[in-house]
Homo-oligomer: A and B are copies of this chain.
Amino acid sequence: MIGKKYSNQKEISYYMCDRTQTLTLPMLVNLLLEVSGEQSESLGLGDTVMQEKGYSWILLQYEFFIDRLPKNKETVEIETFATEYNKLFCYRDFIVKDLEGNELVTVHSTFALFDFAKRKMARLPEEIVDPYEAVFNKRVKRTAKPAPVNEETAEQQPFNVRYFDIDTNQHVNNSKYLDWALTPLGGAFLSSHQMTYANIKFDKEVHEGQQVQSIYSQIAEDAAVTTAHKISTESNTHCTASFKWKKISE
């Protein structure tokens, strides 16, 4: 049983792509949240309504299974639906398809609701979950954790949180954590490897003016490579992630 489906087509533009003419993961994240935002609007639960109710959604985790990422100028269909929810968490899937219906990317995500007045996570109210037609299941899902960074071999690069990293929600845009995580891998690696899996877990948010360290280590396993990442400040880990890669054949 899954919830009400919503889908929309998006055209991939040059500014969303890297030098390999491929949609970047940070931009894919922006497009996914654009489509789930459209579903919320269509159900009368858009950002403005949610703000009036005193809530905002927080993204806790993403897991991506990637056959291939869309290419520059390609039009894709992005489908999304809530799957189930419990007292505190709700789960939403995204499926990115090409126009022939082939599934390119499948995404599982976990969201929670933040209560502004109480400054903490809210118990999910029926009026907010019912319109999505997700199923209540009291069991909290066990989601795979990102592979841990090997501190002995880890390398790191600092990033300053910039004005333009903060979006309309007044928070650092989720895609920026991915940008910080992936950038230290460098051009030679990123343009010769294709991502096949990504697991990103968001912990404490960072704020404008802070400096974060993007720390990563790499494990090669036969033809595949896994990279493990964390975004940290002195006192906190803000995001952990791991990616699986295969070499792009020449």
Contacts and interface: CB of A to CB of B under 8 A. Distances in A.
Contacts of A182: 163-164
Contact of A14 (B13, B34, B186): B34
A209 B183 CA distance: 11
Stoichiometry, as copies per complex, reads 2
Contact of A187 (B72, B168, B179, B208): B208
A167 interface: yes
Interface in A116-143: none
B18 A30 contact: no
A24 interface: yes
A128 to B, nearest CB: 19
Contacts of A26: 164
Nearest to A189: B163
B179 A162 contact: yes
Given A17-B167, A162-B183, A163-B187, 17 more contacts: A13-B30, A14-B33, A14-B34, A14-B37, A14-B47, A14-B168, A14-B169, A15-B33, A15-B167, A15-B173, A18-B163, A18-B166, A18-B168, A162-B179, A163-B190, A164-B179, A187-B209
7 contacts: A13-B34, A14-B33, A14-B47, A14-B169, A15-B167, A15-B175, A19-B167
